[in-house]
Amino acid sequence: MHTPLVFINDDDCKVCYACVRVCPVKAIELRPSGDIPFINPDKCIGCGSCLEVCHPGAILYYDSKPAIIELLKSESKVVALIDPSISAEFDDITDYRKFVKMILEMGFDYVHDVSFGVDLVAKEYNDLISNFLGKYYIFANCPPIVSLVEKYFPQLIDNLAPIVNPMVANAKVVRELYGNDVKVAFIGPCIGAKEEAERFDGNSKVDVVLTFTELRQLFDEYNIKESTIEFSDFNEPRGYKGSLYPISTGILQASGINQDLLNSPIMTAASKDKALSAITQFEQGIDYISKHFNMFYCHGCIMGPGMKPGGKKYNRQTSVTNYTAKRLKDFNMARWNNDLKLYQHLDLKREFKANDQRLSAPPEEKVEEVLKIIGKDSIEENLGCKACGYESCRDFAIDVANGITRPDMCIMHSLKSKQEYIKSLKLTNDKLAKTQQALQNSEKRALAEKQLAQDALETTQTMLHKLPTAVVIVDENLKIVGSNESFVTILGEDAAEINEIIPGLLGADLKTLLPVQFYKLFAYVISSNDDVIGRDVHLNDKLLNVTIFGIKKNKIVGAVIRDMHMPEVRKEEVINRVTEVIEQNLDLVQQIAFLLGEGAAKTEKMLNSIIESHKSKD
């Protein structure tokens, strides 16, 4: 497979991190170099959970349509293996025989129902369990479950039932019928089957795997509609109760295994949460449980990620049972029994291979450090709300320490930090207001002079705020000395709310407003006195071009930030405006310099720095 099974289209990603939270094995990572998540193909189990929660449609899976189109254009005979879930997916097609004909119209030579493969596999499970020798097995029909065991529970490899899944069993059947040169395409509800198929070759090979979603797209592309199609039936051999396979307990029905609660040797777990819990309990307590586990990652194949979204489980289950009952009404049992005998010689055994993707535990001190950062270093604070997608705060801290997620994924920590910051800003604002009043009372005689200075500063600030380019000035403690409206706009709504309380964000801590990789650029310029020129930086969904320069060595730095999605501000306009302000106000500022100390010099230097920055940038 040339591309990963599941991947993210960066252009469509809204950075909501819903996929990060829902991934059961944390294969979707947040890397320090960017905000868009990355799906690690080595860790992915192909469950499709991320697809279901990505409402912008930014998460995609490997497209097999081009491969099947090329296969149908070739001179090879091509067989379509149809998963029994068709009745749950294609409830808009009135008769399954119309569906079979629609498949043939695309160019397939034969169409087979995989329910016969289910019957063959079900018999193997019956034999395995009937000849119980003390080992309990996990059924290996669901590709994500198999991948989960191989990658995250490799110690349970020997407990995976060594039996191929129905797709592979039916591939063996059709190659027995038509020869090893025939090409085989499986069409079903599971995206994990795409990778599962690549594990087999010879008479077990499945050349292409299509999801039902992809099949619908091909029907549209070929302009194939039920209204223009006649009846056609599946090629023999046909399945019996294997048609119930899409329901999680269907394989047990097909095998004839006792499902009585008092006597059944099988437990069934279907759905993400139940499957993950079941496999953990199997590992920890199978000697006490003493049951084989029939497991599906989804709520049965009727809810697979390769089906149309929004389906209702019990409606689909009813469609499956009605479809099966209709097919079995006049079923030819004698022929089915003969077919079973005809193919009983097929070797349906398989092997599994451990692919351990578990991360080593990080040093305990790093975990404790992360817990302290997110405020979960005490028992009282370690609530484990699971909003981040982890079972506990410690599990989350371990992955932060391992570098696959970030502290800001802790929603409670992020909300608490923002609330405390806003509260502290309000307190600071109150203190500043009181201080200002005290100064006004003690310096009445200098009121007129101060007013003149204020007028000069307001003129400067007005000019800065009118600039379309964002400007911010910070001190050695990364506290904001001054900024304009464009800078507040770039930061977003939270900063705008703070700006209403404290205009210009004066005194705000830059570290609470910018991501770590962004504010560290300011710290670098302060400490090294080396300018950062024209650096591209991502902030939320924005691409910014940043220039940071020293104003007062190791004390004051300024930054000019341009939103690359907005029109550039012409250099001449900015230079002319700033120069005009300097010429008009320099004499006035010099007259009141004795009151402001170094204020006038700083103002001149800051403004000239901005001018020089624009000149050098252009």
pLDDT tier at 444 (50, 70, 90 boundaries)?
Answer: confident
Mean pLDDT of all residues in 52-80: 94
Mean pLDDT of all residues in 23-33: 82
pLDDT tier at 318 (50, 70, 90 boundaries)?
Answer: very high
33 Cβ contact partners less than 8 Å away, ≥ 6 residues apart: 517
User: What DSSP element (H or E) covers 86?
Assistant: helix 86-89
pLDDT for position 155: 96
pLDDT tier at 387 (50, 70, 90 boundaries)?
Answer: low
Largest CA distance in the chain: 113
Rounded-to-integer distance, Cα 420 and Cα 427, Å? 11
SS3 99: helix
pLDDT for position 175: 96
pLDDT tens digits for range 548-567: 998 888 899 999 988 887 76
SS3 553: coil
Mean pLDDT of all residues in 144-170: 96
- List the single range of 185-189, 428-432, 473-477 with lowest mean pLDDT: 428-432
CATH topology of domain 1-61: Alpha-Beta Plaits (3.30.70)
pLDDT for position 584: 57
Rounded-to-integer distance, Cα 421 and Cα 492, Å? 16
Q: DSSP code of 163?
A: B
Rounded-to-integer distance, Cα 336 and Cα 341, Å? 9
pLDDT for position 575: 54
- Do 8 and 39 touch, CB atoms closer than 8 A? yes
- List the single range of 195-209, 528-542, 602-616 with lowest mean pLDDT: 602-616
Q: Amino acid identity of 441?
A: N
pLDDT for position 226: 82
pLDDT for position 497: 84
SS3 539: strand
pLDDT tier at 43 (50, 70, 90 boundaries)?
Answer: very high
- Do 86 and 238 touch, CB atoms closer than 8 A? no
* Cα torsion 132, 136, 141, 143: sign: negative
pLDDT tier at 435 (50, 70, 90 boundaries)?
Answer: confident
Rounded-to-integer distance, Cα 153 and Cα 276, Å? 11
Question: Which backbone phi and psi does 185 adopt, to 5 degrees?
Answer: -125, 125
Rounded-to-integer distance, Cα 593 and Cα 194, Å? 75
The strand pairing partners of 113, in sequence order, are 82
Mean pLDDT of all residues in 160-179: 96
Residue 376 has pLDDT above 70, yes or no: no
Rounded-to-integer distance, Cα 186 and Cα 207, Å? 8
Domain 1-61 matches domain 447-617 at the CATH topology level: no
pLDDT for position 174: 97
Q: DSSP code of 445?
A: G
pLDDT tens digits for range 297-307: 999 999 999 99
Residue 586 has pLDDT above 60, yes or no: no
* 149-163, 375-389, 512-526: which is most confident: 149-163
- List the single range of 221-235, 279-293, 570-584 with lowest mean pLDDT: 570-584
pLDDT tier at 17 (50, 70, 90 boundaries)?
Answer: confident
Range 447-617 classified under CATH 3.40.50.300: no
The domain spans of the chain are: 1-61, 63-342, 447-617
pLDDT for position 439: 74
pLDDT for position 588: 52
What region does 541 belong to: left with phi over 0, alpha with psi -120 to 50, or beta?
alpha
340 Cβ contact partners less than 8 Å away, ≥ 6 residues apart: 119, 120, 123
* 104-113, 440-449, 579-588: which is most confident: 104-113
Residue 535 has pLDDT above 50, yes or no: yes
Percent above pLDDT 70 for the chain: 80
Residue 83 has pLDDT above 50, yes or no: yes
Residue 369 has pLDDT above 60, yes or no: yes
pLDDT for position 425: 73
pTM of the predicted structure, to 2 decimals: 0.65
Residue 396 has pLDDT above 50, yes or no: yes
The strand pairing partners of 475, in sequence order, are 556
Q: What is the mean pLDDT of the chain?
A: 84
Percent above pLDDT 90 for the chain: 48
- Do 167 and 186 touch, CB atoms closer than 8 A? yes
Rounded-to-integer distance, Cα 215 and Cα 235, Å? 19
Q: Amino acid identity of 254?
A: A
Pair type for strands 480-483 and 208-211: unpaired
pLDDT for position 572: 47
Catalogue the long-range contacts made by 560-563 (C-beta closer than 8 Å, 24 or more residues apart). 560/469, 560/470, 560/471, 560/610, 560/613, 560/614, 560/617, 561/469, 561/470, 561/471, 561/472, 561/486, 561/487, 561/490, 562/469, 562/470, 563/470, 563/490
Mean pLDDT of all residues in 457-482: 80
Nearest to 491 by CA among 405, 563, 413: 563
587 Cβ contact partners less than 8 Å away, ≥ 6 residues apart: none
Mean pLDDT of all residues in 43-70: 93
CA distances from 563 to 14, 457, 478, 523, 579 (A): 18, 26, 22, 21, 24
pLDDT for position 268: 94
Peptide bond into 237 cis (omega under 30): yes
* 207-216, 471-480, 486-495, 582-591: which is most confident: 207-216
- Do 504 and 485 touch, CB atoms closer than 8 A? no
- Give the residue with greater pLDDT, 480 vs 451: 480
SS3 292: strand
Mean pLDDT of all residues in 167-179: 96
First to last CA, the chain: 46
pLDDT for position 569: 47
Mean pLDDT of all residues in 437-462: 67
Mean pLDDT of all residues in 474-492: 87
Nearest to 266 by CA among 432, 139, 151: 139
- Give the residue with greater pLDDT, 483 vs 414: 483
Rounded-to-integer distance, Cα 31 and Cα 34, Å? 6
Please state the three-class secondary structure of 333-358 as a single string: HHHHHHHHHHCCCCCCECCCCCCCCC
pLDDT tens digits for range 231-249: 899 999 999 999 999 999 9
